[in-house]
Amino acid sequence: MRAAVYRTTGPPDVFEYAEVDDPPCGPDDVLIEVEAISIEGGDTLNRSGGEMVGNPHIVGYQCAGTVIEVGEAAAAHRTVGQKVVTTMTHGSHAELRAVPWIVSFEIPEGGDIVEASTVPIAFGTADDCLFEFGRLEAGNTVLIQAGASGVGVAAIQLAKRAGATVLATASSDAKLARIEHLGLDHGINYTDNDPVAVARELTDGRGVDLVVDSVGSTLEGSIAMLAPRGRCVLVGHAGRDTHPIDASLLMASNNTLTGVFFGGEIFTPRVQEMVRRHLADVASGALKVIVDRTFPLADAAAAHQYVESRQAVGRVVLIP
């Protein structure tokens, strides 16, 4: 098969488009012919300096395609010809991918495979941040850092549907305009404004009940904008330039800080059902995804460069 691989971590130009061995399909696995690859935030972080499980290494968490082989133990759960979206720690940037069947999710009839390729991690992460760990309730005010990211696009919709007032940050008014239709009540351009000051102004000085922070370098500001007993959920470090914070900042207003790793929950029945529900809602149009741009798999370097330029809204997708 052909794949976008690298032999050392580094900037996007470490990618090469090469012929590599097909992945084996184990007893619990499904082998899929990949049709769409969602570039996740963790993919760019791993490529820049993460663990390599092989050399050459195939990076990538999430992709969708058609099942072409089913392992003996997986046969009770998946069949050849099914359209599925898969998640795993690596291996998405390729023409073929083998994963345990339990981290493959059937795409509902009529669902668009490119859209479905972006769903489980973004919507699952947003759901966990808002509800399982963020305890969001109707009437709460939530601020979503990086509202134009994949997780941000999902979180805005899920929070609004739950009856919350939704604030989100982005780097430009143009980006905010592209996500306003998702249910955004107030957008904050952090290039021109202080998000903490704006969030407090919009809440008459009280602060917000919940912050979903996938950036990391914004964490101190996220805590500073919390209302009494407010919650901050940290779910990533897309900002890369993270630094330690003084945990005593949480004490003055009885605030809490929770870290979330969606991958640690993906095998649970709760998350399995939740992902299936989000795939169904995207297929029906009840929830929207934004695919900013698609690139051929052979142009993985250019696609990663575009993601890292922070121009994209939603997800960037590779097509083998």
Are 147 and 257 part of one and the same domain? yes
pLDDT tens sequence across 53-105: 999 999 999 999 999 999 999 999 999 999 999 999 999 999 999 999 999 99
| Helix segments in 141-294, DSSP class H | 150-161, 173-179, 195-202, 219-224, 269-284
Residues in the chain, pLDDT under 70: 238-243
Burial state string for 113-132 with b = 16 or more CB within 10 A and e = fewer than 16: bbbbbbbbbbbbbbbbbbeb
- The domain tally of the chain equals 2
Are 76 and 166 part of one and the same domain? no
Range of the domain at 193: 122-263
Are 113 and 150 part of one and the same domain? no
Is pTM beyond 0.85 here?
yes
Are 134 and 237 part of one and the same domain? yes
CATH code (residue 132): 3.40.50.720
pLDDT at 236: 82
Are 189 and 217 part of one and the same domain? yes
Chain centre distance of CA 128: 12
